[in-house]
């Protein structure tokens, strides 16, 4: 096999607690992370000519060494000792700098795909170890399950039971820097973290634990995020929350018809990115 096409899904955070700040500037987090089937398409090809080439054509996505997918390919080529080259073509469906983990998911797709193409036989645990050196969300996408994520995001525990939900993703076309959000976050003293269940019977129970500490930075700077949350709930979402560092907001719906009707209403009245997805 010399080529492979991989679907790289987006993610949302049902919960994002910032527990503390490390001396190196990273933050300790507690998150519940969920994949959704809005996907980038990543094509990998092994070629005779040495080197790594990334093509995307999407504004804001670097095509050379600055791309996290390029770094993933370099890591596995170095491990393999192969003198082959790799061509990576990324077709973006996930908005850039949106809090949906698109770049990290593309990176994980390269790790998983090249592990097969180069016949490295690396375990998921080893790929996750490589992934966390490239980006904090990469291990989650390698892990491939709904999870409680702790540490900087690399300590992953699968959740026993999580219901499928329909998700409306809304991005007001405002790229938000993750670094800027964390730099402006004011940590507040907690007596203790609220206990989170490890299983959920229905969407209503998921909505009971929705929360994102990073909204305290983004909503004052971008009030449209709060407007989107209120609009989604008004259109039938059981709950709505900003994903990751934003600015994308997701609404959770119990049925497809209500989700699609809400999305159509938002698309009709606003010039926002709107997509309907299902959890996966």
CA atoms of 139 and 18, how far apart (whole Å):
18
pLDDT at 99 over 90: yes
Of 120, 127, 131, nearest in space to 82 by CA: 120
pLDDT of residue 58: 85
132/63: higher pLDDT: 132
pLDDT tens track for 9-55? 999 999 999 999 888 878 999 999 999 999 999 999 999 999 999 99
Summarize the confidence of residues 82-87 as an average pLDDT.
Answer: 95
How does 147-162 read in b/e, with b if 16+ C-beta sit within 10 Å?
bbbbbbbbbbeebeeb
**What percent of the chain shows pLDDT beyond 90?**
89
Query: Residue 59: its pLDDT value, please?
Result: 82
- At residue 188, does pLDDT exceed 80? no
Parallel, antiparallel or unpaired: strands 211-212 and 3-21: parallel
Would the pLDDT of 189 be above 80? no
Catalytic residue numbers read: 11, 137
Could you tell me which residues are beta bridge partners of residue 276?
168
Cα 230 from Cα 276, distance rounded (Å):
17
If DSSP codes are grouped into helix, strand and coil, which group holds residue 60? coil
């Amino acid at each position: 096999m010399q080529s492979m096409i991989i679907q790289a899904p987006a993610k949302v955070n049902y919960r994002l607690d910032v527990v503390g700040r490390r001396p190196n500037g990273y933050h300790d987090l507690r998150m519940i992370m969920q994949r959704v089937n809005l996907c980038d398409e990543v094509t990998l090809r092994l070629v005779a000519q040495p080197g790594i080439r990334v093509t995307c054509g999407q504004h804001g996505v670097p095509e050379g060494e600055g791309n996290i997918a390029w770094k993933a390919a370099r890591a596995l080529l170095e491990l393999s000792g192969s003198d082959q080259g790799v061509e990576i073509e990324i077709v973006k469906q996930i908005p850039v700098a949106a809090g949906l983990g698109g770049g990290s998911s593309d990176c994980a797709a390269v790790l998983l795909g090249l592990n097969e193409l180069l016949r490295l036989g690396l375990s998921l645990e080893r790929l996750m170890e490589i992934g966390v050196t490239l980006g904090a969300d990469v291990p989650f996408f390698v892990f491939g399950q709904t999870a409680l994520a702790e540490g900087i995001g690399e300590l992953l525990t699968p959740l026993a039971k999580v219901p499928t939900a329909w998700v409306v993703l809304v991005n007001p076309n405002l790229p938000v820097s993750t670094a800027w959000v964390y730099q402006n976050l004011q940590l507040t003293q907690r007596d203790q973290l609220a206990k989170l269940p490890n299983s959920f019977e229905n969407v209503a129970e998921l909505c009971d634990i929705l929360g994102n500490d990073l909204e305290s930075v983004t909503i004052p700077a971008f009030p449209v995020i709060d407007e989107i949350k209120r609009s989604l709930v008004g259109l039938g979402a059981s709950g709505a929350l900003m994903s990751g560092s934003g600015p994308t907001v997701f609404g959770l719906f119990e049925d497809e018809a209500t989700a699609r009707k809400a999305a159509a209403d938002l698309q009709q009245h606003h010039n926002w990115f709107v997509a309907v997805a299902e959890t996966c």
